[in-house]
Amino acid sequence: MDSRLLRQPTVGDLIIRALRRYPERLAFTGADGEASYSDVALRVARLIALFDTLGLEKGATVAQLARNSISQWSVIAACYIAGLRSVTMQAYAADPEGQAYFLRKSDADVVICDAEFAGCVQPLTALVPRVRNWFCHQEAIPGAVGLAEAMEKVAPTELVDRAEPEDIVRVGFTSGTTGPAKGVLLSSRALAACAVINTSEDPWPRRPVVLCAEGVAGGFGNFIVPTLMLGGTVVLGQRAEPEVVLALMGQYRPNMLLCLPMLFNAILDHSEAGAVDWSSLELLIFSGASIAPTRLAEAQGLFGPVVSQVYGQTDCPKGLAILTRADHSRPDKLGSVGTPFSTVEVAILGRDGGRCAVGEIGELCARGPIVMSGYAQEPELSAARLSNGWLHTGDLASQDVDGYLTLYDRVEYRLVDGERTVPARQVEDGLRGRAGILDVALVQHGGRVTAFVVGADGISDEAVRDHARRAGWDRIDAVRIIDELPLLMIGRVNKGLLRQWAEAA
């Protein structure tokens, strides 16, 4: 059979079709104004023409340091269609040294920033001399040309997808908790698959109005394309704060809400949350980390039966498993991340590479159209992660008889004693709630295991060690009492930082 008959869709083609299908509908609204589908199409066509005048060819990289805006996403879309590589740096981490790492790692050719980050331009120009073209979304600033002004000087090009399915159109960066952040190479094929599958397993509203205060520079940016495919509207909040969400809920009455666990919990804890009318919500999707069943029960009381969880990684964006709205009515499944998406095959593999039995803990591996193509500038690590026909996710997990996946920890953070390994979460779950322990995290470093404990005054080291033995781990070398566990923006415990603290001690 001719392989061309089996050609995968591209994310650029999905965007173009959506923009043409609903020209008069409202595509985006929020703090920076609003834009119809035809407005966005014109912006994207001008951006591609501008990139052409800069001499950018397929595979060149356009990086952004910006908050949520119509202009920011238009640049992303232009990259996807033109076959350029989009890099979106998180606005909450505007540190020149850190951003320089991302720009070097992704071989950035162009940088576009918000005016509020003007102070980063000069130091970054010195740190990353390969970047010759600097723009600002709002207006000209020292060292950067105003993007809108530059776009007005070029005629819009025809919107035609230039990317092949396997062309890399996004470099997404991992959180860096297990070492330096990795630049994940995502193809047009992978991003198209992400857009298609996320509307199929737990159906979205027929015409979604999606409120996203989380940065679209991260994983939730993958939900904009499916929103447009359905003719919906994206309500962009510029800060992931509960006050922003509450205000936008009242103003726009969205039927979908996207949250990381930190924002999810902050909304539940906000004093004004109960006074907001949440009745327009049909679907609330959270991702990034699991949320305690007690908090999920609170959410059901506040929002109604609308909560759904999507599990993915930068390496396999928002597309590994889903715990649907219906699943959230099953108490026995609330500790899981759900079942694999229908287009993804998963396996739990042991240390010998063989498949684990039902309920046995091993490394979660996956394959399907959504997996990454490798890591930027890291061929050996790419080969290791994409080996024997699987993407090795680095997550320890088990799968029950019904197919539901439960995550335990990263492979790097399991506890090792000779040939015996135990997921840290298994011991942590046995400690939490015992002897005044409110929360706990275990990290191993140089063979030593340190327990970081949050709890009431008077917790004894021996009580922690005793309960750890009952939970299956015999040796705790050090116990440190802290006020709270450090969290990543996605809501997971920052064990990389805890390991640094333990090593420093």
Q: What is the predicted pLDDT for the residue at 462?
A: 87
User: Distances in Å between the alpha carbon of 74 and those of 84, 147, 158, 195?
Assistant: 13, 12, 15, 17
Q: Is the pLDDT of residue 445 over 70?
A: yes
Mean per-residue pLDDT, 269-296: 94
CATH code 3.30.300.30 region(s) in the chain: 414-504
Q: How far apart are CA 248 and CA 38, in angstroms?
A: 24
Which residues of the chain are in CATH 3.40.50.12780 domains? 3-346
Mean pLDDT of 51-80: 97
Q: Are 36 and 27 in contact (CB under 8 A)?
A: yes
In sequence order, what are the residues at sequence separation of 6 or more whose Cβ sits closer than 8 angstroms to the Cβ of residue 170?
76, 79, 80, 85, 86, 87, 186, 191
The predicted-structure confidence for 323-345, as pLDDT tens digits, reads as follows 999 999 999 999 899 999 999 99
What average pLDDT score do residues 129-148 get? 95
| Res 473: pLDDT | 85
Average pLDDT rounded to a whole number, residues 466-474: 85
Nearest in space to 158 (alpha carbons), one of 71, 14, 42, 76: 42
Percent of the chain with pLDDT over 90: 74
**pLDDT score, position 177:** 65
Residue 6 has pLDDT above 80, yes or no: no
Cβ burial of 466 (10 Å; 0-12, 13-18, 19+) is middle
CA angle 257, 260, 261 (to 5 degrees): 115
pLDDT in tens, 401-442: 999 999 988 888 888 887 788 888 888 888 888 878 888 999
Mean pLDDT of the chain: 92
**pLDDT at residue 93 tops 70:** no
Domain spanning 3-346 has what CATH number?
3.40.50.12780
Do residues 274 and 242 lie in contact, with contact meaning Cβ atoms separated by under 8 Å?
Answer: no
For the chain, first and last CA: distance in Å?
63
pLDDT at 425: 85
The whole-model pTM stands at: 0.91
Give the CA count within 13 Å in the CB-facing half-sphere of 45. Answer: 15
For 414-504, which CATH superfamily applies? ANL, C-terminal domain (3.30.300.30)
